[in-house]
Amino acid sequence: MCASVKYNIRGPALIPRMKTKHRIYYITLFSIVLLGLIATGMFQFWPHSIESSNDWNVEKRSVRDVPVVRLPADSPIPERGDLTCRMHTCFDVYRCGFNPKNKIKVYIYALKKYVDDFGVPVSNTISREYNELLTAISDSDYYTDDINRACLFVPSIDVLNQNTLRIKETAQALAQLSRWDRGTNHLLFNMLPGGPPDYNTALDVPRDRALLAGGGFSTWTYRQGYDVSIPVYSPLSAEVDLPEKGPGPRRYFLISSQVGLHPEYREDLEALQVKHGESVLVLDKCTNLSEGVLSIRKRCHKHQVFDYPQVLQEATFCVVLRGARLGQAILSDVLQAGCVPVVIADSYILPFSEVLDWKRASVVVPEEKMSDVYSILQSIPQRQIEEMQRQARWFWEAYFQSIKAIALATLQIINDRIYPYAAISYEEWNDPPAVKWGSVSNPLFLPLIPPQSQGFTAIVLTYDRVESLFRVITEVSKVPSLSKLLVVWNNQNKNPPEDSLWPKIRVPLKVVRTAENKLSNRFFPYDEIETEAVLAIDDDIIMLTSDELQFGYEVWREFPDRLVGYPGRLHLWDHEMNKWKYESEWTNEVSMVLTGAAFYHKYFNYLYTYKMPGDIKNWVDAHMNCEDIAMNFLVANVTGKAVIKVTPRKKFKCPECTAIDGLSLDQTHMVERSECINKFASVFGTMPLKVVEHRADPVLYKDDFPEKLKSFPNIGSL
Amino acid sequence: MQSWRRRKSLWLALSASWLLLVLLGGFSLLRLALPPRPRPGASQGWPRWLDAELLQSFSQAGELPEDAASPPQAPHGGSCNWGACFDTSKCRGDGLKVFVYPPSGPISETHHRILASIEGSRFHTFSPAGACLLLLLSLDAQTGECSSMPLQWNRGRNHLVLRLHPAPCPKTFQLGQAMVAEASPTVDSFRPGFDVALPFLPEAHPLRGGAPGQLQQHSPQPGIALLALEEERGGWRTADTGSSACPWDARCEQDPGSRQTQRRETLPNATFCLISGHRPEAALRFLQALQAGCIPVLLSPRWELPFSEVIDWTKAAIVADERLPLQVLAALQEMSPARVLALRQQTQFLWDAYFSSVEKVIHTTLEVIQDRIFGTSAHSSLLWNSPPGALLALSTFSTSPQDFPFYHLQQGSRPEGRFSALIWVGPPGQPPLKLIQAVAGSQHCAQILVLWSNERPLPSSWPETAMPLTVIDGHGKVSDRFFPYSTIRTDAILSLDARSSLSTSEVDFAFVVWQSFPERMVGFLTSSHFWDEAHGGWGYTAERTNEFSMVLTTAAFYHRYYHTLFTHSLPKVLRTLADEAPTCVDVLMNFLVAAVTKLPPIKVPYSKQRQEAAPLASGGPGPRPKPQAPAPNCVNQIAAGFGHMPLLSSRLRLDPVLFKDPVSVQRKKYRSLEKP
């Protein structure tokens, strides 16, 4: 064992001088004791982190030294696989009931060597790949060493390749596992099922209710929603480094590189080659290789020798025909080469088909249509082919590349079945990183025009400008669709005016007092907000007419996923300074609306408060500025859409102010606002704002039409 | 003595040290000696074998290729899958062609209308020999039409037995290799990839159109119940889940405080709807929940969810294990608002796209089978699972989502920056020279197509423009205006009538607006529909009002995909209607786009002087004395054809940002729009 830890001899001997003849004896004894103490102390108080990062606590042993288990010839054999098994019938979900974070816990049995009555081994103890697989599980978050807390059990009995084991005895070995219980919650990994002559498509070892992660299932043996179809790992993945090759046309249109194909298939393929000439390449084993050349890394066409798997990168489509088994390791090589697999294997369940969308990465052709394969492939548009090439490579990188990738994808699939409410989505499984990055999934994607009857909640952020606040309240209360008014009182040093002093309005008026004077209080998702539409309005915006506000609400109803606001602003790229600039001049474009007066969906309050990226929220509160720009960034980023500016430009604050919109022209103000844009763009990692050239006006705005017949006559006038 | 005392103290010190050593070291040694758990709390993990590098691979070198191949296997046993039991060789050419067996006896009114609906669809063929799929409708329980074996049965090969309602009559003949489309099949009898799982429709399900989803707002109302539970006799009650007890588990029944029963509802009003139990009740409730926008929480369903082959139900429902009720409840309570929002909206989209009418269910079934035949050119998962849905996104148009107007956001793409002008020249047949020049002046114009559709011979010369100009010889049918001509190469089409009059600025601005709304129609002149109480029907007006629901296609931008949709997906009846009453074609196109987008069109400014002068407002072709509205029953006929009224009104117009603002005209980009 590991007891042979070597202690360093250190430290001076502190034995008092003695005149006796036993001196040497005492000194020796004492030093031994002291050294022992020091060493023990060091061992005891050594920082644990160092200890655990070392491999001290992991056994260093050889596979040959594992305990031997003798299986009596009459030990029980499990039932054959139960084809009717489903998660809710054969899987004991109670074992997974107490797992935190919606993650199943997986236990791995200790490795043993099984022999029969005569001492003959049942199988190879463990293969390199199965060892890698168990190591990957053990290193993952799924792993537990506590058998009592485990939800899933993985035997260390290696059944990856059925040909390397004795079926009956392996089954007996499974049956004597300590928690076997008819195989409930046990997971077996098998990549090469069946054996001659009939090559069954699932592992022949009787396994009762155990889940099977198998490579090469057919529709007849695969228990949908119970078994997991996995790839047949190609050892070439680790050996050969094929750099990613961009999508696009390649030298060969179609290539077949499998050896040992059934003669019927080979005839069909060769007929294709004759018919279509150069663009089809059918390869076979090389017969005339010199000594020492690895034959599995070469393929030949007549006397031409090609490197395998490099040659796959020269083809757009690669044939993956079934051999005796449905699952073929070549599928992995083909995907690695970014070649689109043409799968010709009737009833084959493609790897991870429960979650992977193979239509995006492969072409499945029925065996009887093999002679038409060329025309079928030719009908696929070039753009789709390139998409498939990219997708094929992405599948390999994410799910085929290593044993670890295969093991973790398998466990994730089982995990998703047990905790469906925490499952990974289709997009997360299937979209390559580039697509995930570029795409936007609008949280309000359903085209829906909310009913007018719902109305909106006006939220006024105020500090101490009571007089102006009361004017705003009075003005806003005239808007027909207003359903509630919320005043966010941001002043902790002063109490809001008494109830009797507030303007009497027809809708409920609530005052919320905040704990701290923060700008983000304006965007807090208060429980008092009962409508979907929110009007954020500053306590000095007194010039908006009732018509303008009502019209703004109508516009929001048609665009409920956007910011719909009055004063518009623009961001511009400053070529001299090489950074973004804030613009409030009369421009032909808008990309932001100020939230001093804007309608938006209340969901964005939730996003602003809880999902704002990076430190933007704190930054805004610290600078007491730019909360509106932050909101514009947030909404544009999550919806991918531009703002809607409503109604013509006008002064929204006091009419006597000289500058347009008050302090907007102030130079330092502009600099600060530009800083905000640059800061936010760097936090978002992109510039999400969208520039548009339109604004929304009532249908008959400024038309030659009787004013009294217009729905919103009082618009834009000062 | 002294030495003895010293020795004694020494011995004492020594033994004390020994004791300490034994105590401390012993523990450490003990820990080292017990390999399975060196330290409590630290997991041991799978061992790192010293000889891991020496282990053999699971597939010995050369074994994989040496696999002896066996000849093709015969179909397994009696069971079927797509490859073994469906002959796709008959489905060459233009996709799925369906032959429907004529009923053998008297049939119900519903059956008759379903037959008519299939016959009107693009899938139908009258010849059983030319059909790729033979459809055996088994709709009503009463009539005996399912008792006889059909003529071309052929062991059921390429047959689909469609049962809207479960087991109407006992099986009188073996289904053999026929596919079965039935309502909520059990998981055990369902053959994935071969059979089709249908929704369980109530008896009175509307044939066409159907009731829209109940959801009126995106996010759940504050204070709405978390959970609705099923009740006896088809009702729902909401449950208060404030306490941690499981409200549906029999074990909790004793605790009266844990649940609060409210009045019965026919449609649930809650965030989540708990559906347990067995079909058909559970399947029926599932559909109710979907319509109500109540997220279905299915507890270990033993039946296949409808159209599970193509619909990603994880986006709209939660399938959980009935054995873990507390975990499920906790998961629902803790679910993030973002997820709830997405699930809710998806229920409504799916309901509207595939379930709200019998016709949609049948078309979806056929579309699922067509997708199997199409293979790589089938609808992608994106097309099935995001608005407007696979019935309205024809896979024959393109296999790339970015070619459609609907998926630019998800794809991270943008519509093309150019448009094609398609000018329709009806009688009297004057070449629209001025119009061509105005359109060709636009920086976004890519090509001009002239659809010559009148008796006169083609003029020999066309105005000199830098734009490529193509002349298409029309057949005089109005629906030709919306034919997907292969010569149209841009996403955007500017549809024009020869008598329209537009300025280059107007075209430029409208196109820039269209780029922001590529799925909608962007037009200059508008009209409205309204409910006419007096006549008990829909009315139409082209008068200028404060709102509008249609834009005239005599001058409008829209995506070229709508030409494909117009020609290939509208029922024949409606296209014929448009040809016979040319003024209806505008209305029809607006109906189509509104049914797809569920949004109103967009209006952009148009110089009003010319508006009065030009006969643009008249819509359609043909010399007419005055601006003429379409026949009043046009709107009603089309609404009947759609089964509902898809048109929506808008109260806004999109103007340039500085439109008519009191600022120097020099600052304005579209200044000519403001000329009096």
* Predicted-complex ipTM score: 0.87
pLDDT of residue A368 exceeding 80, the answer is yes
Q: In what order do the strands lie in the sheet with B526-532?
A: B537-541, B526-532, B550-551
Structure tokens at A470: 């009361």
Lowest mean pLDDT segment, chosen from A93-107, A230-244, A583-597, B492-506: A93-107
Contacts of B14 in chain A (CB under 8 A): 29-30, 33
pLDDT of residue A45 exceeding 70, the answer is no
Provide mean pLDDT across the span A146-157.
Answer: 94
**DSSP secondary structure string, A160-173?**
SBGGGB-HHHHHHH
Contacts of A60 in chain B (CB under 8 A): 48, 50
- Average pLDDT for chain B: 81
One of B51, B586, B655, B661 is an active-site residue; which one?
Answer: B586
| pLDDT given at position B3 | 57
Tell me if A320 sits within 8 A of A257, measured CB to CB.
Answer: no
| Whole-number Å distance between alpha carbons of B439 and B434 | 9
Q: Which residue has the higher pLDDT, B5 or A507?
A: A507
pLDDT tens string A660-697: 444 445 788 899 999 999 999 999 999 999 999 999 99
Q: In what order do the strands lie in the sheet with A340-344?
A: A280-282, A252-256, A315-321, A340-344, A363-364
Sign of CA dihedral B249, B252, B253, B256: negative
Check if B17 contacts A (Cβ < 8 Å): yes
pLDDT tens string B349-402: 999 999 999 999 999 999 999 999 888 889 999 999 999 999 999 988 998 899
| pLDDT given at position B645 | 94
- Among A357, A363, A606, beta carbon nearest to B337: A606
Q: How confident is the model at residue B24 (pLDDT cuts 50, 70, 90)?
A: low
Among chain B residues, the shortest Cα distance to A361 is held by: B376
Per residue, what are the HEC states of A559-610?
A: CCCCCEECCEEEEEEECCCCEEEEECCCCCCECEECCCEEEEECHHHHHHHH
Element (H, E) at B135: strand B133-138
| pLDDT given at position A665 | 55
Lowest mean pLDDT segment, chosen from A272-281, A577-586, B21-30, B477-486: B21-30
Q: How confident is the model at residue A595 (pLDDT cuts 50, 70, 90)?
A: very high
Chain B nearest CA to A691, separation (Å): 10
| pLDDT given at position A8 | 43
Contacts of A381 in chain B (CB under 8 A): 398-400
Q: How confident is the model at residue A52 (pLDDT cuts 50, 70, 90)?
A: very low
| Whole-number Å distance between alpha carbons of A184 and A79 | 12
Tell me if A317 sits within 8 A of A307, measured CB to CB.
Answer: no
Terminal C-alpha separation, chain A: 91
Q: How confident is the model at residue B253 (pLDDT cuts 50, 70, 90)?
A: very low
Q: Which residue has the higher pLDDT, A653 or B580?
A: B580
Backbone angles phi, psi at A357, to 5 degrees: -95, 95
pLDDT of residue B676 exceeding 70, the answer is no
- Cα B83 to Cα A129, A376, B178, B193: the distances in Å are 33, 16, 13, 10
Q: What is the DSSP letter of A343?
A: E
- Return the bridge partners of A299, or none: A306
pLDDT tens string B604-614: 999 864 444 44
In the residue annotation, B140 being an active-site residue is answered as no
3-state secondary structure of B472: strand
Contacts of B32 in chain A (CB under 8 A): 1-3, 5
Beta carbons of B46 and A137 less than 8 Å apart? yes
pLDDT tens string B294-350: 999 999 888 999 999 999 999 999 998 888 888 888 889 989 999 999 999 999 999
- Among A41, A86, A451, beta carbon nearest to B216: A451
pLDDT tens string A500-538: 999 999 999 999 999 999 999 999 999 999 999 999 999
Whole-model pTM: value is: 0.87
